[in-house]
Amino acid sequence: MTEHSVDTSQTPPTVSIDGCSTVPVLFWNRVARFPDKVALREKDFGIWNKYTWHDFGEAAQYTGLGLLALGLTRGDVCSVASEVCKEWLFADLGIQGVGGVTNGVYPTDAANQVEYLINDSGARFYFAEDEEQLDKVLEVREQTPTLEKVIIFDMEGLRHLNDEMCISFESLQALGREYAQEHPDQWEQEISAAEPEDLMLLTYTSGTTGPPKGSMISHRNLLYMMVAMQRMYNFTPKDEQLGFLPMAHVAGRLFYIALLIESYSVVNLVEDVETFNQDLQEISPTLHFAVPRVWEKKFSTVALKLKEGTALGRFAYQHAIALGERVATFHKQGERPPLHLQLLFFAAEQLVLKNIRRLLGIDSCRLLSTAAAPIAPELIDWFWSLGKPMYEVYGQTECTGLATANVPGQLRIGSVGRSSDHADVQLSADNEIMIKSPGVIKGYWNNPEKTAETIKQDWLYTGDVGRIDDDGYVYVVDRIKDIIITAGGKNITPSEIENQLKFSPFISDAVVVGDKRPFLTCLVMIDQENVTKFAQDNDVPFTNYTSLCHTSAVQDLIWQEIERVNKKFARVETIKKFSLIDQLLDPEDEELTPTMKLKRKVVNEKYIDMIDAMY
């Protein structure tokens, strides 16, 4: 049984787990207690390879000691640019173990962004996943004076690389082994030297309103998240997750590092982003956290398969989902459905719903979780109707991830739940959500002005407008800066409309426009896969993505989807005109965040001519 201790009566607050007050000490506790238990699996060439806690600990130790051999000193920043993989986790715990600070870099970041992150953080060491990531850092190394060494995870295509600045991850580990033989007690001495308030992570925000800001996360911050998340999710050593989120995002760190260490459970790392769905079906995890876009795609998958299916299949689905809705009504309230309803739902599960859940890879999940962006309540209801409870949670990088959560027995769909234990969530005079908890960060790296704007007297000012009901459930209305005030003076929440639009299988994302304008319009990014299939099924001629967007059939299709959403809103909140973004975007484009959300400010500036044309 894991023991938690949180004391908020002290300044700063104190947090410990099993008597450990820093992440490296807790990590090494797990390595010592459960050496033979599987901690990680990673799929490689179609085979799931296992790594025990002993393997994990040894790899982290040799990584950290290898860095000491290269001259790392406590407090040095090490950047890691890679998709999620075992080496990312080995590097992360190795860096922290010897007192370094890990800074995650999105593998989709362009070379100029890599240059900014290295220079802003003062990184001395840079871990690059492969040749693609290496090329970016080498392109800017002349402009990054603090950078001393680049460590490469995957040397494919680089065997003949001859560059004094570069070393393979394998060679770094070899250095670490030699260092361990020469200094057998050094690793444990370094682990013991860490203090709870020491900086351990730099997590940069997306920077939609200026240059990215580095959130400074301490050991105490992350340990508190372990405690809070365990109480939210009740994780056990038998639980399994699928690791696919980017580790540069705070959610990746929380689920694949924090929960892993706290609960000594298992994380299964995808072979590739492209194999995500197949890997999910194979692993069928017990808990699955994903951003709303992932859940929207799953709904779209089922919606399109139904259109292709038989009339009998659609009839069976409609009846099964209707039964699921009735059963979910009881489960959401923590009640058992009547026996006859349980029996009917059991039959619906066996005949229909189980097949859908297996297709989506969630059949073994005891719960689903979502955060990081707004989500349509109807989508959450749909997963409940499938027989899988989904809980929306809320937080920010600046509070190390989570501050509120819906949990079993305490659920209100449409809200983001109540505040977590030892966290206080209140509203300012302007209805801005404020958070005080042991998870609130130390501040922004090298940015005292932004720190002072955001954290005041230990309160994190989130920038979100919200409301709190009489039972303490928090509702996020929108970002303060995103609220639209029309020319007629009407205040409109664009995210609520956008969430409904994204519920369509044909719409990937949308940005509602209308500030100081006479009516609302919308820029839409279509779902390429689903709209392409629609065009093929309906003999709509097109040559590429741009021409697809300009076909009258696709324009009519999207307008039908917009009209469907318009019926749910008051007249002043309806979309009067729309335009399609006719360029195929990916996370490397400035319009998108790494989690594939459109950046409202960038879109409004870049597509101003398109917007003006709608008025």
CB atoms under 10 Å from CB of 190, counted, come to 21
Gap between the Cα atoms of 317 and 360, Å rounded? 15
- Confidence band for 599, pLDDT divided at 50, 70 and 90: confident
Q: At a CB cut-off of 8 Å and minimum separation 6, what does 408 contact?
A: 334, 367, 389, 391
Region 563-589 average pLDDT: 92
- Confidence band for 587, pLDDT divided at 50, 70 and 90: confident
Q: What is the pLDDT of residue 231?
A: 92
Q: How far is CA 377 from the centre of its chain?
A: 19
- Confidence band for 593, pLDDT divided at 50, 70 and 90: confident
Q: How far is CA 447 from CA 183, 215, 450, 512, in A?
A: 38, 10, 6, 32
Q: CB of 246 within 8 A of CB of 216?
A: no
> Which amino acid is located at 282 in the chain?
E
Q: What is the pLDDT of residue 207?
A: 53
For the chain, give the percent of residues with pLDDT over 90: 90
Q: CB of 92 within 8 A of CB of 24?
A: no
Q: CB of 611 within 8 A of CB of 521?
A: yes
Gap between the Cα atoms of 167 and 301, Å rounded? 43
Helices (H) and strands (E) in the chain, counts: 23, 28
Collapsed DSSP state (helix, strand, coil) of residue 231: helix
Instruction: Write out pLDDT tens, residues 202-244.
Output: 999 865 556 899 999 999 999 999 999 999 999 999 999 999 9
Gap between the Cα atoms of 452 and 456, Å rounded? 6
Q: How far is CA 193 from the centre of its chain?
A: 31
Region 356-362 average pLDDT: 97
CB atoms under 10 Å from CB of 479, counted, come to 18
* DSSP secondary structure, 188-234, as one string: HHHHHH--TTSEEEEEE---TTSS--EEEEEHHHHHHHHHHHHHHH-
Gap between the Cα atoms of 118 and 141, Å rounded? 9
Region 537-546 average pLDDT: 94
Query: Which of 118, 164, 117 is CA-nearest to residue 145?
Result: 118
Token code pair at residue 266 = 């298992």
Region 310-325 average pLDDT: 96
Q: How far is CA 459 from CA 429, 443, 549, in A?
A: 14, 11, 46
Q: At a CB cut-off of 8 Å and minimum separation 6, what does 340 contact?
A: none
Gap between the Cα atoms of 500 and 509, Å rounded? 10
Q: At a CB cut-off of 8 Å and minimum separation 6, what does 328 contact?
A: 381, 384, 385
As annotated, the residues of the chain forming the CATH 3.30.300.30 domain(s) are 483-613
Region 385-402 average pLDDT: 97
Q: How far is CA 498 from CA 114, 447, 503, 524, in A?
A: 31, 33, 9, 10
Q: In what order do the strands lie in the sheet with 199-204?
A: 166-168, 149-152, 125-128, 77-81, 101-105, 199-204, 214-218
Region 19-28 average pLDDT: 98
Q: CB of 521 within 8 A of CB of 575?
A: yes
CB atoms under 10 Å from CB of 7, counted, come to 11
Instruction: Write out pLDDT tens, residues 72-98.
Output: 999 999 999 999 999 999 999 999 999
Query: Which of 275, 308, 372 is CA-nearest to residue 597?
Result: 372
Q: What is the pLDDT of residue 463?
A: 94
Q: Spelled out in words, what is the top-level CATH class assigned to the domain 34-194+235-286?
A: alpha beta
Strand-pairing partners, residue 427, are 433
As annotated, the residues of the chain forming the CATH 3.40.50.12780 domain(s) are 34-194+235-286
* DSSP helix, strand, coil percent of the chain (3-state; round to 5): 45, 20, 35
pTM equals 0.91
Token code pair at residue 444 = 């922004």
Gap between the Cα atoms of 232 and 230, Å rounded? 5
Residue 341's φ and ψ, nearest 5 degrees, are: -70, -40
Q: CATH classification of 483-613 is 3.30.530.20, yes or no?
A: no
Q: What is the pLDDT of residue 209?
A: 56
Instruction: Write out pLDDT tens, residues 475-515.
Output: 999 999 999 988 888 889 999 999 999 999 999 999 999 99
Measured between its terminal Cα atoms, the distance across the chain in Å is: 63
Gap between the Cα atoms of 106 and 247, Å rounded? 8
Query: Which of 36, 43, 76, 72 is CA-nearest to residue 57?
Result: 36
Min mean pLDDT across 520-524, 552-556, 597-601 is at 597-601
Query: Which of 443, 433, 430 is CA-nearest to residue 397?
Result: 443
Gap between the Cα atoms of 420 and 529, Å rounded? 39
Gap between the Cα atoms of 603 and 599, Å rounded? 6
CA-based R_g, the chain, Å:
25
The chain-wide mean pLDDT, for the chain, equals: 95
